[in-house]
Amino acid sequence: MASVVPLRGLVIFLCLLHLCVQGIQGVNTVCLAKMTQYFYDKVQPKTKNGTDTQYALSIYLPPAHCVDRRANIENKFDDAQAAQVKALLNNHAKCELCTKPKNVIASRTVLTHDNKVEHSEHVLLYPVGKSLMDELLAKARHESCVVFYSYNSPCVETCLQSADNILEGLRNWINKRKGKMNAFVFQEIWQKDLDEDLETEFKRIDAIVPLYRCMRNSEEMKCRKCVENNVMDSFCLPNRK
């Protein structure tokens, strides 16, 4: 019986090591696909004519939800909570840790008090140090997985190249969670960026936070990491026909 305790300790150590490695290397793309499909089915806001519209959402979850494909996001963000977030977004309001678990923030693009357009990603990430993302991270447990989802890829002109770009906000996020499980996920390519040098711009994001794309194909969501060893996966770029 004396050998059982060390063996049990070894098993626990190996499990923790596995989660640690997953956190450094990235999340499971099958998990991200299930998560993104859920966001699309349950949260995706619509325009007045019923088409999908841009929004951003961030959520923190137990690490298993990002590495174990058997995990169900509904256990931490159920249908009623998702409907609550969707209703706010459809009314052009923000979810500021609005659900009971206080593990979700979300926003559409908004008009500021001086009638300037603030893109949804920027709404969640700024002002740095006092943002909704900072509030979310303050509540996230040390070992949590944090996923930032944007329906469209961040626009090049405003989100990545202007004085109001989101890169500092992304650095602020990662500086608070170095070596942890983090993922920036987008679904569609922003239509006005189809002729931009997206490979260069997406690599700038991935240099800060692991970038993934989840895309519906024949009603099935598929996800891939956009950059590996500085090589861009064409899955994350516009389809050139």
Give the tens place of pLDDT for each residue, 207-221.
999 999 999 987 799
Between vectors from CA 237 to CA 232 and to CA 66, what angle results, nearest 5°? 70
Give the tens place of pLDDT for each residue, 76-94: 999 999 999 999 999 999 9
Bridge partners, 223 (sequence order): 214
pLDDT at 10: 47
CA dihedral 232, 72, 84, 113 (to 10 degrees): -30
- Left (φ > 0), alpha (ψ -120 to 50) or beta: where does 57 sit? beta
Q: Which of 111, 105, 73, 112 is nearest to 88 (CA)?
A: 105
Q: 25-236 sits in which CATH class?
A: alpha beta
Q: What's the whole-model pTM score?
A: 0.88
Say which residue, 28 or 1, is predicted with more confidence: 28
